[in-house]
A and B are shown apart, each in its own frame.
Chain A
Amino acid sequence: MPTLKAWLEWREQCAFALCKTQTHAEMSGFITPIIVEQVRKRDRNLLPLADGGHSGLPNQACHLFETYMHATSGKTGKRWKDWLFGKADEAGASEEGKLAALECQAANACMSGARDHARQEGWYHRNPKLSRKKDDLDRPATGDPDGPTLGDLLPDPSSFGLDPSGEAAANEMEMIAVREAEGYFATLPPRSKVVLWARVTEQPLSAEEVLRFAGCRKSTLCKHEEQTPLLASLKIVASSLEAKYGPENPPEDVRELIARVIHRLGRLCLEEFSSGKKGEQLTLLK
């Protein structure tokens, strides 16, 4: 491990390369094994960095660490060293404790640096095009076999939103959504409206105001939600819109309409319970 003297000399210098031979040896003896181990684990083909026999390896490892941490060649690129030593200062009561914290922080930074180096120079860099083969999209996104696959997480092209130049069509779609939502709103069971309002305003069903509007106890409201779930009501709205508009229109446009109608239903509930009728129970529920 580097001595405190070596750490302090490195702190004062702009780079490892400018340190005295002894300091350079101590520091690179600390940094190189961490970086080489991590890079090798991620990608064995990353040469020459991961080639243990390469004479320039310590220099490369130290350079990688400093490059990773360095923010700018502009005004004060070395402030991260102040951060590193400051963090260690706050971590230990004794010099030994501080030194241990410094080594830990620096080792963590080396590992993150190796991670990004492997990412930048590794397999994907040499093979920039993601294969469109099914097996690529079917692999778990993070290695967790039970987690979603990359294919699950890939957005549909329509997820990037509407083209701003198509504003007129979007406005027309909104008008249709408003009209449809008003129709469905009238058919929603009153307590489902209260549940939707609670969801929109992020209140639990046990909230005092929610129960006041519902005109019942929590158990009754929950029972209603079990028997006539809001989700089921919204699914009926969605399937009804799908049946009405699906055959003649692109699926992404129909999905957009459904999203707008459901959003609008939430707005109507908000208006119902948050404006003129606030403080009153629903007449229907009395």
Chain B
Amino acid sequence: MPKLPTLKWRTPPAGYRERLARWFDIWKYELELRRENPEYAKPPPALPPESRTKHMGFGQRHPFDADLLATGQIRLLGPGVLPQSRRPVYVAVLSEWEDGMFLIAPFGPFMEPATTSEWLTGRDAFPLRVLCLWNAHTVPRSSLAESWEVDDLSPQELADARSVFDHVFTGDPLSDRLLDRVGCPVVHPNDPRIAYQQEEARQMAPLAVAAREYVCQITQPTEEPTTLAAVLEDLTAVFRSRARKWAAASGEKNKHKKVWDSGQEIAPFRCVVYRESNGDLRLSFSSTDHTHENQTFEVVVKEQTRPTVTFLRDSETGELFGEVLIPHAKLPPDGLSRLTFRLKKP
């Protein structure tokens, strides 16, 4: 009988069963509250913006201070940012990307972390006890225009939050210290925590919509590239939109370089980069230059990996395309944020 290598499994954190039981206990209370108090369960009423009369008899609110927006802040979103929210939503600003985009994660409604993607901050204040990294969003500065700074994360808190974020989006293992401060994994398809996450995700949907619109706006190609310079510029634009995803996944500020073999004219290529759930990278190339049909190029990653990509014609669209998969194991060990690759004629 074949013997498998002996895998070394992590020791579950002490008290994980109790933590799960406590989370369900509070969720049970929450469901009871909703059943017993129909008003409690409803999303807050809101008039259409044109019908609102601001500050009628309610005094002056403190001005928003988004001009002070910076990484490491804890901010309270203004009452109009998430119309469906029944509670004040605080967010941690985890990173600033390029083009005025920020990575933020909301603090959760409960005092226990639900899953391994929620982190117990160790703070005493109820609204800031649990940070939900699974619900992180990249948002434009304008989405945070109506918010107030209320506190800062310490450097250690910021580093821990980013580590949990990396764990969620790239599968990086958590340290034992952080594993002690997150919830339990979801292993059952009918786990009620899935419904809880769906609720929380819906609440943040306006931010996701705003981010999508903003990205579409800034990555809209202006004209068809015709020269090498224009091609590279266009290529850069496509890369940048995806690069943000890598940067989001790595939790580091975007420092990507796009290095192309400049020794020859490479006409209009586009590349979209997908990161698979197992960490593999899928590079999807297309070309509008029909002379590339059936031509093969090398994809050079860090001068090490040289898979080839052949451009084939799609019988329906007439577009030339080719894909290449770079296995996770062959990616540079120093992370995606410093990935460079070239497309080269052999």
Q: What residues of chain A have their CB less than 8 Å away from a CB belonging to chain B? A: 4, 8, 11-12, 38, 41-42, 67-72, 74-77, 79-80, 82-93, 95, 98, 101, 104-105, 107-109, 111-113, 115-116, 118-120, 124, 128-130, 136, 141-143, 147-148, 150, 152-166, 168-174, 176, 244-245, 247-250, 252-254, 256-257, 263, 267, 270-271, 274-276, 278-279
Q: Taking CB as reference atom, which chain A residue is nearest B24?
A: A141
When distances are taken between beta carbons in the complex, the residues of chain A under 8 Å from B39 are 104, 107-108
When distances are taken between beta carbons in the complex, the residues of chain A under 8 Å from B290 are none
When distances are taken between beta carbons in the complex, the residues of chain B under 8 Å from A156 are 187
Count the B residues whose beta carbon is within 8 Å of the partner chain — how many?
96
Taking A90-B47, A163-B10, A248-B2 as contacts, is the C-beta distance between A130 and B88 under 8 angstroms? no
When distances are taken between beta carbons in the complex, the residues of chain B under 8 Å from A93 are 47, 51-53
When distances are taken between beta carbons in the complex, the residues of chain B under 8 Å from A119 are 22, 25-26, 29, 111
Dominant secondary structure of chain A at its interface with chain B: helix
Interface membership of B334, Cβ < 8 A: no
Taking A90-B47, A95-B56 as contacts, is the C-beta distance between A173 and B7 under 8 angstroms? yes
B88 touches A111 (CB 8 A): no
The docked-state distance in angstroms from the alpha carbon of A150 to that of B310 is 52
When distances are taken between beta carbons in the complex, the residues of chain B under 8 Å from A153 are 20, 24, 184, 186-188, 191
Interface membership of B17, Cβ < 8 A: yes
Query: Which residues of B30-55 are within 8 A (CB) of A?
Result: 30-33, 36-37, 39-40, 44-47, 51-55
When distances are taken between beta carbons in the complex, the residues of chain A under 8 Å from B310 are 276
A90 touches B128 (CB 8 A): no
Interface membership of B312, Cβ < 8 A: yes
**Shortest CB–CB separation between residue B15 and chain A, in angstroms?**
8
Q: A71-B90, A86-B79, A104-B44 are in contact. List 20 more A-B contacts (CB 8 A).
A: A74-B152, A88-B58, A89-B55, A104-B39, A112-B87, A115-B29, A136-B21, A141-B24, A143-B28, A148-B190, A148-B192, A160-B12, A160-B179, A169-B5, A169-B6, A244-B2, A248-B2, A267-B276, A276-B312, A279-B315
When distances are taken between beta carbons in the complex, the residues of chain B under 8 Å from A169 are 5-8
Q: Which 7 pairs of residues, A with B, have the shortest CB-CB distance?
A: A166-B8, A86-B79, A169-B5, A248-B1, A172-B5, A72-B151, A163-B8
When distances are taken between beta carbons in the complex, the residues of chain A under 8 Å from B51 are 93
When distances are taken between beta carbons in the complex, the residues of chain B under 8 Å from A278 are 312, 314, 321, 323
B192 touches A74 (CB 8 A): no
The docked-state distance in angstroms from the alpha carbon of A65 to that of B13 is 33
Q: Taking CB as reference atom, which chain A residue is nearest B51?
A: A93
Q: Taking CB as reference atom, which chain A residue is nearest B109?
A: A112
Q: Taking CB as reference atom, which chain B residue is nearest A38?
A: B33
Interface membership of B125, Cβ < 8 A: yes
Q: Taking CB as reference atom, which chain B residue is nearest A85?
A: B58
The docked-state distance in angstroms from the alpha carbon of A129 to that of B22 is 10
Taking A74-B152, A130-B21 as contacts, is the C-beta distance between A115 and B46 under 8 angstroms? no
Q: Taking CB as reference atom, which chain A residue is nearest B174?
A: A161
Interface membership of B249, Cβ < 8 A: no
A89 touches B187 (CB 8 A): no
B56 touches A252 (CB 8 A): no
When distances are taken between beta carbons in the complex, the residues of chain B under 8 Å from A11 are 59
B325 touches A271 (CB 8 A): yes
Interface membership of B222, Cβ < 8 A: no
The docked-state distance in angstroms from the alpha carbon of A278 to that of B191 is 38
When distances are taken between beta carbons in the complex, the residues of chain A under 8 Å from B235 are none
A87 touches B61 (CB 8 A): no
Complex partner residue of B190 from A80, A109, A147, CB under 8 angstroms: A147
B3 touches A92 (CB 8 A): no
A279 touches B1 (CB 8 A): no
The docked-state distance in angstroms from the alpha carbon of A256 to that of B25 is 31
Interface membership of B126, Cβ < 8 A: yes
Complex partner residue of A129 from B18, B29, B62, B329, CB under 8 angstroms: B18
When distances are taken between beta carbons in the complex, the residues of chain A under 8 Å from B52 are 89-90, 93
B78 touches A162 (CB 8 A): no
Taking A124-B22, A128-B18, A163-B9 as contacts, is the C-beta distance between A71 and B323 under 8 angstroms? no
Q: Taking CB as reference atom, which chain A residue is nearest B33?
A: A111
The docked-state distance in angstroms from the alpha carbon of A93 to that of B52 is 6
Taking A8-B58, A90-B46 as contacts, is the C-beta distance between A275 and B126 under 8 angstroms? no
When distances are taken between beta carbons in the complex, the residues of chain A under 8 Å from B217 are none
Complex partner residue of B56 from A80, A89, A247, CB under 8 angstroms: A89
